[in-house]
């Protein structure tokens, strides 16, 4: 059986986090931006489970349930806003959403 070390998990989680972060910053489509946000949360979750396993403390595993719940609530509200906005403006491109200017 191949077992990965803690560093492997942390490297993967860091990579996922950075991909998600730049996805949020650079992509123009709101839905892709949302995917980036989810990727960042999943990266944290992965690191949390890895730490929990290697440190032998169970509260990391329990925290994951809270994070999943919070992420679900966040996405539910976020997608509702995107749908309502699409009905008004017929676009979900970030650079076309610029009605708020002084």
Partner 1 sequence: MDVTALQAIAANNDWMTIFPELLLGCVALALLVLEIVLPKRLHASLPGVALFGVLAILPSQVMSFWVGYIDGDSFNGLLHHSYEGQVMRVFFLLTAALVCLLGTITVARRKVAQTEFYHTVLIVTAAMMLLAQSNHFVMLFVALETVTVGFYILVSYFRGSARSLEAGLKYVIMGALSSAILLFGIVLLYGVAGNPSLPAHTTAAMNFDELAAFLSANPHHFLASVGIVLVLAGVAFKIGAFPFQIWVPDVYQGAPTPVTAFLAVGSKAAGFVVLLTLARTFAAYVWLTLPVLTVMAAATLLFGNLAALTQHNVKRLIGLSGVSHAGFLLLGVVSAATVPLGYGAVYFYLFAYLLASFAVFGVMAHVGGPDDADQELTHYAGLAKERPFLALVLAVGLGSLAGIPPLAGFMGKLFIFIATFRAGHYGLLAVAVIGVVISIYYYFGWIRAAFFADWNPAPAAPARPPVDLATRVVLGLLAAGTVALGFYQGPLGGWLSGR
Asked if 51 contacts 45 with a C-beta cutoff of 8 angstroms, the reply is no
Residue 99 lies near partner 1 (rule: CB under 8 A): yes
* Helix pair angle (59-89, 30-55), 10° resolution: 180
Residue 31 lies near partner 1 (rule: CB under 8 A): no
Q: How far is the CB of 2 from partner 1 (least distance, A)?
A: 22
Residue 43 exposed, middle or buried by CB count within 10 Å (0-12, 13-18, 19+): buried
CA-to-CA distance for 98 and 94, rounded, in angstroms? 8
CA-to-CA distance for 74 and 63, rounded, in angstroms? 16
Q: How far is the CB of 86 from partner 1 (least distance, A)?
A: 9
Interface residue with partner 1, options 15, 26, 68, 77 (CB under 8 A): 77
Residue 32 lies near partner 1 (rule: CB under 8 A): no
Which residues of the chain form contacts with partner 1 (CB under 8 A)?
A: 10, 17, 20-21, 24, 30, 33-34, 37, 40-41, 43-44, 47-48, 50-51, 55-57, 59-60, 62-63, 66-67, 70, 73-74, 77-78, 81-82, 84-85, 88-89, 97, 99-100, 102
């Amino acid at each position: 059986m191949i077992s990965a070390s803690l560093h492997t998990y942390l490297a993967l989680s860091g990579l996922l986090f950075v991909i998600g972060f730049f996805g949020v910053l650079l992509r123009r489509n709101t839905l892709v931006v949302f995917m980036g946000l989810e990727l960042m949360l999943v990266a944290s979750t992965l690191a949390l489970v890895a730490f929990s396993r290697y440190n032998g403390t169970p509260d990391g595993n329990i925290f994951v349930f809270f994070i999943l719940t919070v992420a679900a609530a966040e996405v539910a509200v976020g997608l509702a806003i995107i749908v309502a906005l699409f009905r008004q403006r017929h676009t979900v491109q970030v650079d076309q959403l610029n009605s708020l200017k002084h």
